[in-house]
Structure 1
Amino acid sequence: MCLNYGGMIIESIVTTLNEAGEANFAPMGVTIGEGEILIRPYTDSTTCRNLVATGSAVVNLTDSIRLFAESAVSNPQFPTFAAELITGLVLTDACSYYECSVMRADTASPRATFRCRVVKKGVLREFIGFNRAKNAIIEAAILATRVRLLGVETILQEYRRLSEIVQKTGGEQEAWAMRYLQDYVERQPR
């Protein structure tokens, strides 16, 4: 597989549809290459089930940290519009997006591998970038998805460090996202 970026993982929101047309939004690191994208969801995830069922996804690149926080720990419904070349949905708050069609799937191990062909790339607005606070929220969202593996106390300890970064370098959106994720983790069984 010849992917560029040296195999670097890019954080995105992957949108998939189930066979009934219901949307799922999942924050996920993907590897973007020349004309293709590698998506590696866990086999027990909704994203994996939807990719197997429909063979398509939209990979959304966004600087809206709220999308990462909400989709990591809940089943939100965000504003979208229909993809053009696949059956799928594009986030209206994406900076850019890739409409993808599955070329090859390997679901034999706990992390499935979907090699997807990019059938369309779209740009909606300029990507402003991430500051330290936005990066901290990405890390907090990843930790929240692993609360069963790592435990509440371990994550809350790391959240104290991440919260300092958010307070020093973030704005309202980042402060909201940090509170949202912390509230979710604190509600989990200990």
Structure 2
Amino acid sequence: MEVSELDKYGICDGISEIIVTCGIENPNAAPIGLIRKDNRIFIRLYKGSTTYENVKLEKIFAANVTCDPLLFVKSTFSNLEDENFKYHPLNSQNIPLLKNSVSSVIFRCEEIKHTEQAMTAEIIPIYAVANYHRPKAINRGLTAVIEAAIHATRYELTGIDKFLDLIDQCLETTYKCGGQREKDAAEILLNEIGEIKKLVSGGKDTE
């Protein structure tokens, strides 16, 4: 399968925000940005995550395209329930996919490079499926809640308060422009941030 064919499955030039599914024995899902440039595509995974460990071991994963804000937020902070997964047989293995994704592409990792903090790999598409296509206009509430989730992970890692201000700005847009699912995702995200704040404050108190 050629990289140029990925346009048909929603993975285009630049950074595509998708949900990775991996873990043949114990499926895991997490939002990741796939980097596509000059007809090549890459992934960068940071140490300490289940996704990192699964991809490092198995060197195969699926990229799932979805516009569901709840899936993005839930998979950012916890694993999805088993009912969200389906499986595609490949070389005597069952690769986990998101059941309700717009499309799914299975990638194989090549040219893997490791640093102290992360793993970077060029990835090769080996199978793709478009599950359905229903046109949907860009909604600023969706993009804002995804951006807020990214800032939340950065706050969790660093404890830097500027990310809280960025989250507030993003969620203001979500509540203004989003539909009910975007607003539900924002509520879940706010609950998660509340728990993260307790951990960050606890860490600061013990310094």
Matches within 5 A, 1:1-190: 8-17=14-23, 21-32=25-36, 37-77=41-81, 78-85=83-90, 87-126=94-133, 128=136, 130-151=138-159, 153-188=161-196, 189=199, 190=201
1:73 is aligned with what amino acid?
F
Alignment TM-score, normalising by the size of structure 1: 0.86
Query: Could you list the per-position Cα deviations for residues 65-85 of structure 1 after superposition, in whole angstroms to 9, with x for gaps in the alignment?
Result: 111100111122251211243
Deviation at 1:150, TM superposition (A): 4.1
Supply the distance in 2 between the matched residues of 1:6 and 1:26 (Cα, whole angstroms): 19
Shift of the 56–129 alpha-carbon distance from structure 1 to 2, 3 Å rule, reads farther
Gaps of 5+ in 2: 5-10, 202-207
- Cα distance change on mapping 1:45 and 1:153 into 2, 3 Å: same
Residues in 2 aligned to 1:134 and 1:6: alpha-carbon distance in whole angstroms: 19
Most deviating of 149-158 and 81-90: 149-158
Q: Deviations over 1:120-157 (max 9, x none)?
A: 11101226354100000111111121223342743332
Task: Report the TM-score when normalising by structure 2.
Answer: 0.80
The number of residues matched between the two structures is 187
Any unmatched runs of 5+ in structure 1? none
Q: Distance in 1 between matches of 2:94 and 2:137?
A: 29
Alignment RMSD (CA, Å)? 2.6
Checking the alignment, whether the CA contact within 8 Å between 2:152 and 2:167 is kept in structure 1 is no
Percent sequence identity is 26
> Structure 1 residues 117, 129: CA separation in 2 closer, same or farther (over 3 Å shift)?
farther
Residue identity in the other structure for 1:142: I
Matched residue SS, 1:30: strand
Q: CA deviation at 1:35?
A: 8.0
Separation of aligned partners in 2, 1:41 and 1:112: 5
Q: Which has the larger radius of gyration?
A: 2
Which structure is higher in helix share? 2
- Whole-Å separation in 2 of the counterparts to 1:65 and 1:49: 25
Q: Which amino acid aligns with 2:88?
A: A
Q: Alpha-carbon deviation of 1:12?
A: 0.3
Q: Distance in 2 between matches of 1:6 and 1:61?
A: 11
For the 8 Å contact 2:112–2:121, the answer to whether it is kept is: yes
